[in-house]
Amino acid sequence: MTAPFRRHVLYLPGFDPIPPRRYRELYRREAADQARISGHRLRITKAQAQGFAWAVHGRVEGRDTTTVIEVALWSDIVQASMRQGIAGTFAQLARTSWTYIATGTLSRLMRLRRGPVIAALYPIAVLLAQLALALLAGGLAASAVGGWPGLPVGVTVVWGVLVLGRRLDHRLFAYYLMHDYAFTARHRGAYPPALEDRLAQFRARLTAILDDGTDEVLVVGHSSGAYLAVSLMADLLRERADPGPALSLLTLGHVVPMAAFLPDAGRLRDDLGWLARSDRLFWLDVTAPGDACCFALCDPVAVCGQAGPDQRWPLVISAAFTHTLSPDRQAALKNRWFKLHFQYLCAFDRPGDYDYFAITAGPRTLAQRFAGRKPSPGRITRPVGAR
């Protein structure tokens, strides 16, 4: 009897303050849908692991599998960076806008993909609109009262409108996105010390996972977690000559240029170039033009000016939402930016060769599954961010 295929997944989320339980519940729900569509048999249980993790026991593509999926936590760092009041957020808006404009980063990003740049400008537009509305309402209130007594009334109304906008952010996401971009821009693309310390902890954990004897160790980075995963893997392979089992990297919906184009992101750019030449892993990058929050089909190494004649990775493919999602599903997701940005972690009702659940719970390594696969047409390799 063939032994079950064993895999350990280390998942790096993007800029997300929400506890990791949401990722387990998302996986549980979407795995059930994909199993029904694709014929997988998947059962989710608790896992014996150091961090927050769950186990997936599967029967996929004719073989039994066991996967542990562990979340690499940095939500506490995200939460700490979001402890800004209303005034602090508007100060972030000014600093972040100046950083991206004055360094020329914004103009280079616009030459690459306009969708994610428009998404980046969205919180600025919403916050400035809230400020303009607050000032207008405050001015009208002050005029109605008249004289000096109108001044405190006007100030109160201004503040009240701004507070209302903050309370509505669970629908608008303007404050959340502003904190996200400000976190990256604050150090001009360099990792802050707290994040460097956390990456060192992730590397130690990944080393322990590699020594556990699984068939594949798969690191998954989503959104801004994609470039953290790149630095993590580069750090690991620089210090470990033989990684042991099959080592794979899967980056999803990446926003690498938002960080790597900034002037002090030399560490990240070096990591991209170094990892792209390594022969000790398989790196698959998946994006989709329908996801306006990512740099779709942009080779994260090449567009950052780190490609060379010996570049091996990543293999850039499209999740092709227009083909892998039914018209009804596409209609349900229309204009829902965040849901589309998380679609890589969800079920596809017309799955192609990208199936997150077959990749994470199936019996083949990433290299075996995508052996011979060519990059998707439309891949962008222009070195727009070369410095």
Query: Given this model, what pLDDT does residue 154 score?
Result: 85
Does residue 304 sit in the same domain as residue 259?
Answer: yes
CATH number for the domain spanning 47: value is 3.40.50
Q: Which of 227, 235, 231 is nearest to 207 (CA)?
A: 235
How many domains does one find in the chain?
2
When pLDDT is cut at 50, 70 and 90, the band that residue 308 belongs to is confident
Query: Given this model, what pLDDT does residue 291 score?
Result: 93
Q: What are the percentages of helix, strand and coil residues in the chain, rounded to 5?
A: 50, 15, 35
Residue 379 lies in a domain: no
Query: Given this model, what pLDDT does residue 120 score?
Result: 87
Contacts of 344 (CB under 8 A, 6+ apart): 222, 252, 253, 286, 288, 319, 354, 356
Rounded percentage of the chain residues whose pLDDT exceeds 90: 80
Domain that holds residue 98: 84-186
Does residue 150 sit in the same domain as residue 196?
Answer: no
Query: Given this model, what pLDDT does residue 72 score?
Result: 95
Rounded percentage of the chain residues whose pLDDT exceeds 70: 99
When pLDDT is cut at 50, 70 and 90, the band that residue 53 belongs to is very high
Which amino acid is present at 66?
T
Q: Residue 226: which H helix or E strand, with range?
A: helix 225-239
Which domain-ending residue is among 146, 171, 186? 186
C-beta separation of 184 from 223 below 8 A:
no
Query: Given this model, what pLDDT does residue 385 score?
Result: 67
Interatomic CA distance for residues 30 and 36, integer angstroms: 10
Query: Given this model, what pLDDT does residue 123 score?
Result: 93
Task: Take residue 123 and report the two structure tokens written for it.
Answer: 């919180």
Interatomic CA distance for residues 350 and 185, integer angstroms: 38
Residue 380 lies in a domain: no
CA atoms lying within 13 Å on the CB side of residue 139: 6
Does residue 241 sit in the same domain as residue 359?
Answer: yes
Does residue 217 sit in the same domain as residue 164?
Answer: no
When pLDDT is cut at 50, 70 and 90, the band that residue 387 belongs to is low
Determine the average pLDDT of the residues in 155-161.
91
Does residue 233 sit in the same domain as residue 88?
Answer: no
Res. 386: pLDDT tops 80: no
- According to DSSP, the β-strands at 53-60 and 41-46 are antiparallel
Does residue 208 sit in the same domain as residue 312?
Answer: yes
